[in-house]
Structure 1
């Protein structure tokens, strides 16, 4: 009973609140905003809070920050080894583990901890802007007006694709052409509309 009250003190609850808000900002405000189709954000939130609680409970055990970080880094690699995670997802996993470990076992004051977590979120958000992410994307398009796939008609082809797709086309690669169905498979490269400060 006394142990429960010792754990649920003001310092613990404040650190948990800082950790939880930081993870919400990281995952809902940055990660999910740039990849709304992702199904990983809820799992990341649970994982981050799990890291916080386990390391907070082990805080009295003689354990260095490096050991704690290595323990959960190895655990995350083993746990997610069967799931193909992108480099972006692995990066967010690394950042949320760092935030959770800092929140639970660091000796930083509350203001310093809030500042460090905010700095990590700001750096992560900045890395998602067009200064670092690619602005040229591509998609495969089944195109029926094969008269425009001739090299001499490239300007009209670009104009037609831009009108239909609503994007700025930068390049087109012509794939399979089906003369029986009057269609061609095009790989259309286009500039993703991005606000640099978005």
Structure 2
């Protein structure tokens, strides 16, 4: 029965040669569509794999670049793995922390950046932890921070940043006394290392005006 139908179908096609062309085109079109249909998921999967690998490779390269550039004076990238502030190369650590130690992420002038590195090197030698804005985002806000002085592009205020969560559990008088004591300690340390410190009341965070005092 199937052979008879096939024969009749072919005989009918022979009466209209143009129909053979149409049929052939239809078969080719259907075959092409099926090929595209079946190959599409494979192509999507391959593309996704390539894009995934590309992103992973790019992320790995960027991570390596961050680690290479932070602490070399070329500016540090946010979100990078932090440098251990304890021991090691004080100058390299000071360069690393200089930008991130500025409270509220304010930008430094070239002069202030030079001053920040010098101040932090002394701070590190004294065994004090620099404030790090990246660590602050993760809840670690304690350390020696730097702040801009209004109207001055060549000076920095050096501030001891206490642990904010501890403030609510510490009597106000004790908190203020601790802050004043650390401010005075910083003033003494920086003055002993030859920095030019602006005159100010005891217990106030020191303002550094220069690497050396005038006349030294």
The TM-score range, normalised by the shorter chain, is: under 0.3
Q: Which has the larger radius of gyration?
A: 2
TM-score (structure 2 length as normaliser): 0.23
Bigger relative contact order (CA 8 A; separation at least 6): 1
TM-score of the aligned structures, taking structure 1 as reference length:
0.24
Q: Which has the higher strand share?
A: 1
